[in-house]
Structure 1
Amino acid sequence: MSKLYFISGSVILFFFVSCNTLTQGVIVSKENELDVTLQSINQVLNFLEDYIDELNLDAFFGITLALSQIEQSLPNVPWMYESAFNSFRIRCQNLINLFKENSMGGSGEYNFLFKNTLLEPKLWYKSVSFKSGLLKDFGLHSNWTVDDVMKNKSSSYHGLSSDQCLAEILENDCEIGSECSVLMLENRNDTLYVITHRLLFMQLFRGIRCGLKESISIYIEKFCSLIWRDAKTLEYLNFPNTDLFLEQLLLCGMEGYGEFLIERWRSKPIIWQTENGCYKDSLELKNQKYRRTANVIEFGCIDHTTGLGLATLSLNARYLTYTMKNL
């Protein structure tokens, strides 16, 4: 597969300065930040293309979310970046097509269903204007420790997995059974992966056109308010779970909540990217139980986290092109 080693007109001049400042969490300018963000997208796509046979479904779901953000960026992309964005769009679609055409991706209970439903970028489209001030500020979890984060890596609730509920609405024409209604709709202040997967459920519910957008929006705003509290706490604890933090930035950033797109948080997927282009999880990999389909691949990277890294970088690129044009 051919690869694009992208260098825009300004990257040659600013790339090394921008990388250094981004590593320190300092942004020089949105143009320079976009240059480095696109370079990072190129690097992770190079990695995914090289190691496609090692990837599970979660990685391709991340690629799909990345593609949805890249496609939605196109109306705002400055002309000098159009070839890069179009190349990334084609490369993401090619990876997804290869996955769909082959039997790769693991053998999880719902893999076949999800493979044939969730990997459609338009399902995850949402028109946004990237505003702050819409979420309720719950502060921090003042009593949390790193151990509290590390021991709560499940997205299940009382033994019911979020995957079961995603599959249920896909198989039953949007109908939600009593158990999934408790998990996904009950008025609770959940945390960590449980609340991010409740958000993902609502995003899918909207994408397959179930229910009223207005009522779904109420859930999403509440969930992202709770997730904002979790994300700020993870930062306070020095990011004991980078996989979860990327998931938080991505899912709520896709909704246009500017709280998740502040400068120092936008720098994280660039800082955390390995020299090989992939992503590891900050949790200790040894003696830990991985998430459902997370797969340890080349260089000790995690395919789920690498897919999240690509999608979050693509969201940041969308945000940058939007703000460069509109603000």
Structure 2
Amino acid sequence: MLYLLFLLLFIACKGSFLKTEPDVRSSIISVLEKVTVFIENRYRDINLDAVLGFRVLQGIVTQNEKWPLERELLAQHTQVESMIKKLSSLLEKACLYDLLSEFAPILGPHFWIIPHSWNQTDPLMAYSSFDAANCFTEKMSDACFTYLLGTWKENGNSCIVTSACRNAMTKPACSNYCLSHQLLYFLFADVKGCSDLLFLRTQDYKNIFCASMMKINLEIENNGFNVSSRDLFMENIMLCGMSGFSDFYKLRWLEKILTWQMPKEGCFGEPSKELERSSGVENQKKLLRRKVYFAYV
């Protein structure tokens, strides 16, 4: 959740957005302050998504050094920096880095980069229909990620593209988390600077994936934002936003997302009872790797 809100905060600082929606940043910062308090109280239960979101946040703020000079914006920048310092200290205490060493590179403070140019999705590039069955397993996608990141073994080489990964990560008509993981695969390759011939078509795949993810998000919206679809909805915004597609940053979507925060607790959704009952490193590993909307933050 943190990653999405801070990406939206970044978009809200764009000049054209500022002129039309002056209160957007204040609303997001207010929500984030409540999230920060929640994490402060429950940092031992924090999940991988929250740490990942925080690292994306750091990349956005550190790379976006030229904030507008208006007094109000400078004050808000100070608020954001204060939250970053507090969250950084709390997430270091969470000790997730040892639990998920295979994903350590993406949890580094300088891994993520923000887009420097923006595109719009083309509806004509979206899949006409989606494969109802899963295209590949989470175990398969995790393995492909580690081959790119170089964490498949100690001191392993990075940017390895196996034939199985090539087939899985370019399989057409995938949907839901399989589709978002396909996009994530190409984002990792971008950041790592991988030079396999597959990645000469990175932008083509991004265009197809994000057009299809926009189609899915519009369907989720038309269906009334069912609770079970909200995590996927937000993940699609985050990943395609990071891929440079600005049409995922819709004001009506932001306004809807902000209503999902629980006002007293500060989190989004409901605490996972399964996580509350869990104990031990192995249980934490299993739970932290799962994509469950009701996981903390």
TM-score normalised by length of structure 1: 0.66
Match of 2:114 in 1: 126
- Corresponding residue pairs, total: 257
Does the 8 A contact of 1:253 with 1:261 survive in 2? yes
Identify if the C-alpha distance between structure 1 residues 277 and 159 changes in structure 2 by more than 3 Å, giving closer, same or farther. closer
Does the 8 A contact of 1:272 with 1:279 survive in 2? yes
Cα distance in 1 between the residues matched to 2:185 and 2:209? 11
Cα distance in 1 between the residues matched to 2:206 and 2:287? 24
Query: What is the CA-CA distance between 1:112 and the residue it aligns to?
Result: 1.4
Instruction: Please point out which of 189, 198, 217 is paired with 1:205.
Output: 189
Deviations 1:20-73 (A, max 9, x none): xxxxxxxx9411122111211222122222211111222211221232233344
TM-score normalised by length of structure 2: 0.72
Identify if the C-alpha distance between structure 1 residues 293 and 281 changes in structure 2 by more than 3 Å, giving closer, same or farther. farther
Letter paired with 1:293:
R
Instruction: Please point out which of 278, 286, 294 is paired with 2:267.
Output: 278
Deviations 1:286-307 (A, max 9, x none): xxxx9763498xxx9522xx2x
Match of 1:236 in 2: 222
Query: What is the CA-CA distance between 1:139 and the residue it aligns to?
Result: 8.7
Match of 1:88 in 2: 80
Q: 5 Å matches for 1:91-102?
A: 91-92=83-84, 95-96=87-88, 98-100=90-92, 102=93
Query: What is the CA-CA distance between 1:160 and the residue it aligns to?
Result: 4.3
Deviations 1:296-327 (A, max 9, x none): 8xxx9522xx2xxxxxxxxxxxxxxxxxxxxx
Query: What is the CA-CA distance between 1:161 and the residue it aligns to?
Result: 3.0
Cα distance in 2 between the residues matched to 1:291 and 1:268? 27
Does the 8 A contact of 1:60 with 1:119 survive in 2? yes
Structure 1 regions of 5+ residues with no counterpart? 1-27, 307-327
Q: 5 Å matches for 1:140-179?
A: 157=136, 160-171=139-150, 172-179=157-164
Does the 8 A contact of 2:141 with 2:181 survive in 1? yes
Counterpart of 2:204 in 1: which secondary structure? helix
Q: 5 Å matches for 1:41-80?
A: 41-79=32-70, 80=72
User: Does 1:185 find its partner at 2:181?
Assistant: no
More helix by share: 2
Q: Once the two structures are aligned, what percentage of the paired residues are identical?
A: 21
Counterpart of 2:289 in 1: which secondary structure? coil
Cα distance in 2 between the residues matched to 1:295 and 1:157? 15
Identify if the C-alpha distance between structure 1 residues 273 and 254 changes in structure 2 by more than 3 Å, giving closer, same or farther. same
Query: What is the CA-CA distance between 1:232 and the residue it aligns to?
Result: 0.9
User: Does 1:250 find its partner at 2:238?
Assistant: yes
Identify if the C-alpha distance between structure 1 residues 72 and 271 changes in structure 2 by more than 3 Å, giving closer, same or farther. farther
Does the 8 A contact of 1:169 with 1:176 survive in 2? yes
Counterpart of 1:117 in 2: which secondary structure? helix
Deviations 1:201-222 (A, max 9, x none): 1111111111277522221111
Letter paired with 2:185:
F
Query: What is the CA-CA distance between 1:106 and the residue it aligns to?
Result: 8.7
Query: What is the CA-CA distance between 1:248 and the residue it aligns to?
Result: 0.7
Stretch deviating more after TM superposition (159-168 or 196-205): 159-168
